[in-house]
Structure 1
Amino acid sequence: MSVPFGIYETLLGILFIIIIPVILYVARHCFKRHKNRIDGYSAICTAMAILIMGIYFIIEGLSVYYHSNFLFSSGLEKESLEYALSNLILPYPTATFVLYLIPMIFLFIAAYVAKELFTKNFLDEKKVKDSFEVDVEKSDLEVARKTFHITIIAVIVCYLLLGQMIVTQIFTFVQDSTQHLYDLGISQIPWQEINISEVISFEAMARFLIVFIVAIILFLLTFTDFIRIYIWRFYPLKMVTQAYREREKNTLGPHVYFVAGVLLVGMFCPAQSAMVTISISGLGDAFATIVGVTFGKHKYKKGSSKTWEGGVGGFVSSFGFSLLSYFLLMPLYDGIILKGITMAIVGSVIFLLIDYLSPPIEMSDNILNPIIIGFVTYMIYIIPF
C-alpha cells in the first residue's frame, strides 16, 4: 500500500505548466499582431515565473511522495504523515482543494457562456462594447485600476491571523472525518496522533494560506482574461474593461502579472521579506498612481505619463506601509528592527527606480516590482545583522 502524499501537489505543478502555452500564445500576439513589446515581454516573464513555480511543485511533490512512502513501508506511519505535512508548501490534503476548485472555474465560465448564448444578448460584439462605453474621469479609472492592488491588505491579515486558524480548522476536519476509516482498518494514516501546531510552523501555515488563495486567483484571472481578449462577448466582467489602458485591452491585464509575482514571492520568500515586497508592490504602486493622477504636474521626462509627485508619493507610502507590515509581523516572526528598516528603504528605492525606468524598460512594473524587490529583500533577510 502507498500513501498519496505529494501526488496532488505534483498534479498542481503540472497544471501550472499547462497554462504556460496560453500565456505565451497571448505574448506572441502582443508582438506580432499588436506590436506591443511591453506586454509581450511581461507575459513571457510571467510565464517564466509560473514555470519556476510549476517545476518546484512537481519536484517537491515527487520528493515527498518518495520519502513518505519509504517511511510508510518501513512501518513508520506517523513519521510518514509528519514528513508530508512539514515538507509541502500545500500540506496534504490541501492541494486537493485547489485541484477541485479549478474545474469549478471552468464550470462557472461554461455556465456563463451558456447563459449568454441562450439570452442572445451579445451576438453583436461591437454593439455590446459600445453599450458599455461611458464617460468616466481619468482619475476614477486609475483608482479603479489599482483597487486590486489595494486589496493586497488582505494578505497582511492572512499572515497575521488567518493562516494558523484556517489550517488548524482544516486538519481538525480531516482528523474527525477520517478517524472512523482508521478505526475500521481501511486507512493506515494515523491523523489522530498528529498535533498540527507541532508539525507545521506558524509561518508555514501562513504561507499555505497565501499560496492557496493566490494560486486559485491566478488560474481564475488567466482563464477569464483569455476570454476577455479573444471572445470578449462572453467575458463576465465587461464593465471592468473600461479600467484598461488601450494597449492592455488585447493582452493579459496587469493584475495577472501582479498576482503571478505575488505568488512567486509568497512561495519562496520568508514572511518578513514577502510582506515588505507585497506592501511595496501593491500599496506603494497604487498610491503612486493615485497621487500622480490627482496631484502630478512634473513629468519624469518628456513623453512620460508618470510624474515626480506620483513617484515621491509611491516612495513614501512604500516605505511607510512596508515598515509597518514588518513591525506588525515582528511579535510573530522575531524580526530585527534594523533589518526591517533596511528592507523598507532599499525596497522603496528599487520601486522608485523601476517606476522611473519603465519605460524605457519594456516590461510592466506589476511583474518587475515583486520579483526584483522580493529577490533583494530576501538577500537582505539572510544577511546576519
Structure 2
Amino acid sequence: MAINLLSYEVSDLCLGKPPLKSLSITSTVSDALLALRRSEENYLSVWSCNHSSSKKESIECECIGKICIVDVVCYLCNEDNISSPSSALNSPISVLLPKVNGLVQHVDSHLSLLDALDLILEGAQNLVVPIQRNITRNSRKKLHQKSSTSPNLHNGYEFCWITQEDVVRFFLNSIGLFSPMPGYSIESLGIMSMNVLAIGYDDPVFSALDTISSALLEQTSIAVIDDEGKLVGEISPSTLASCDETIVAAIATLSAGGLMAYIDYGCPPEVVKARLKENLKGMWKLLDECCNNSTLSSSSSDEESSSSSSSSSSTSNRLGWISRSGSYSTRMIRSAEAIVCHPGSSLVAVMMQAIVHRVNYVWVIEDDYSFVGIVTFFDILKVFREHLQSIA
C-alpha cells in the first residue's frame, strides 16, 4: 500500500545524485556567469561560509540560494543595467538571489519523505541534503579541514538537493500503490489552474522581463498566445537556462514569436547585433566581447582560464545556445514548442510527460489548441499529499 512509502527518508531520493557545484556569496555576477558557462548543470548553489569561526556549534557553511543563466540575463536586461552591462557584471552575486525566504532549506538526511513533501508544499523548492559516505571519523575531520580550500565541500560534507521533480519521479516509480487515483483525469482531480503567465505572440519580450523572473521563481513557464487565444508556444526559463549570455541580445530585441523562432531555428546574429548596435551600444559591445571569449577572462584564475579555453573549444556556432559542454542527461535543450495535454488526460500520463521533458508543468488545451490552463508539479504533489493523509 501507499502508506508503506512513508517509511522512506530523503536520503533514499539522493541515491545517484551528483554533489552540488558551489559558488561563494562573495562572488560577482561575472564569476557566476563564468561558472555557469562551464557547468554541466543549469543551476548552481550559492553558499555563505565562515571557515574562520571559532565556535564549533555555529553554522560554518549554509546554502542560501541558487542561480541560473536566466537570473543573469534578467539582471543584465534590467533597465538600470542594460546600458552599462560591464558595470553590472561587477555587482555582487547577491543581486541575483530572489528576495523570498525559504526557497532553499537544509534538512537532515533522515528526514521522512512525508515531512520533506510538507516542506515543499510550504514553499521550499530545493531541500539541501548532506551526502552520506562510509568514511571514518578521522577522514571526516580531514574533509572538514579541506572544506576551506574545496569549493564543493562544506563542513566536511558534500551536498545534493531534492526538488519537486525528484519527489514526483519517486511517486511515479511507485504509481501502482496509489491505484486507482493515477488513472483519474486531471479535470476530475481539479488540478488545472488558470493562474498562468502569458504573453502575446507579437509582444516584445523585453517588456516581459518581470514575467520571465516570475516564471523562474514559480518554476513554471510563459504561454505565448495568438490573437485567437490559442497556445502557439512558450517561453520557458528551463529552456533559456540552457542558453549562454548571448540570449540577452534576442530578449532585448525580439518579440515573443521572434524569440521562439530564435530558440527553435536560430536567428541571423547580424540582425540581432544590428539592432543592439543601433539602440543598446553597451550591450552590443559586451556580447561582441563575449563571443570572442574576452569579457570574463579578467576575473578568472589561471586554473579557470585553462578550463575556459577547454570549454570554449566545443562552443556552438549557433548564437544563443549553450557554449559549455554537458551531457544530454543533465542538460536537455528543448524547443519553444509547448508540452501539452487535455482536460481528460490521466494524472499518470501528465506526470510522465513532464518527467520525460524535464519540466515542472504541462499546458492544458482543447483539441483546437484553445488555451485551458496549466498543471504543475506543485498541484500534483498536493494531490498525493491529500491521498497519503487520507490513508494514514
Higher normalized strand content (fraction of residues): 2
Quick check: TM above 0.5?
no
Higher normalized helix content (fraction of residues): 1
TM-score, normalised to structure 2, is 0.28
